[in-house]
Amino acid sequence: MTAAVCIVALVENTAAGPDVLAEHGLSFWLDSSDGRVLFDTGQGRVLFTNALKLGVHLEHTDAIVLSHGHYDHTGGLGDALRSSLRPPVFAHRDAFLPRYVRQGDGSFRSVGMPFWTEQALADHTRQYVRVEGPRDVVGPFRVTGPVPRECEFETDGGGFFLDQAGRRGDPLNDDQALFFEADGGLVVVLGCAHSGVVNTLRYVRRLGGDKPIRAVLGGMHLHSVSQERLERTVAAFRELGVVELWPAHCTGPVAWARLRREFGQACHPCPVGTIVEFKTP
């Protein structure tokens, strides 16, 4: 029997069909014969419902990975933990910091991990795994840990802070990605890529023995970047050997359209209900 990894989009800003629900956020289910991972949990309002509709058994979760500490990726952690057998949770320690974003009117809004998520983590998990660097999760799945910021044209975009007065900028050091090896190269799953999507893919390629990037799924945080940065990002994707893309969440419609123009049918929508399978070595 051929080994494979199946990825299901459980939470995303859009939904495919009337039977599943959308919310601003992201969550992927990754299923292999050697282990199952829940990557991010959305805000928490639709995760459990969508999992039931899509036939995903959260009670079989072997590990939960949090890409970073924002509410739209961590709010469903309580439901995920209560629905499963207390799996370990992999996250950077900064994921638990208070976080704020500056809004258009100059005010600040909390975007950090909800208090009920932190409480659920204390009450319903056997193990919190503090991620400080690259490490194995379960089966074929690995996480990057903090991503080096080396790409000269990428920034986190600013606007994020560690205090409600906007005095302390948030470097988002907790940002990480998940990856695994598939036939034809590496598959990378992103939360928001606050470290920069090119930084992230270059780092994954380095960690993966310089294999090409077979596919990228998730949020690329390109929704408000300049046209110049977008073009340089597209060129970097080509340089990295990217074959297929499932841009989602914070990628943005302009960036999605540009990637679709560049990659054609190999750039796919990624609403809730998307199911992708990759054969693995």
CA atoms of 256 and 21, how far apart (whole Å): 21
- As a whole number, mean pLDDT of residues 109-127 equals 90
Domain ranges of the chain: 4-279
B/e letters for 117-134, b = 16+ CB within 10 Å, e = fewer, are: bbebbeebbeeebebeeb
Regarding the domain delimited by 4-279, which CATH topology (the fold level of the hierarchy) does it fall under? Metallo-beta-lactamase; Chain A (3.60.15)
- As a whole number, mean pLDDT of residues 104-109 equals 91
Residue 200: Cβ within 10 Å count:
29
Residues 69 and 100: beta-carbon distance below 8 Å? no
pLDDT for 1 beyond 60: no
Q: In degrees to the nearest 10, what's the CA dihedral of 22, 196, 142, 253?
A: 30
Tell me what percent of the residues of the chain surpass a pLDDT of 70. 99
pLDDT for 104 beyond 90: no
Q: What does the pLDDT look like over 157-208, one tens digit per residue?
A: 678 999 999 999 999 999 999 999 999 999 999 999 999 999 999 999 999 9
Return the pLDDT at 39.
99
Q: What does the pLDDT look like over 21-44, one tens digit per residue?
A: 999 999 999 999 999 999 999 999
pTM of the model as a whole: 0.97
- As a whole number, mean pLDDT of residues 72-99 equals 95
pLDDT for 12 beyond 70: yes
- As a whole number, mean pLDDT of residues 50-64 equals 97
Q: In degrees to the nearest 10, what's the CA dihedral of 225, 200, 152, 245?
A: -50
Q: Backbone dihedral region of 42: left (phi > 0), alpha (psi from -120 to 50 degrees) or beta?
A: left
Residues 174 and 92: beta-carbon distance below 8 Å? yes
* Average pLDDT taken over every residue of the chain: 96
pLDDT for 156 beyond 80: no
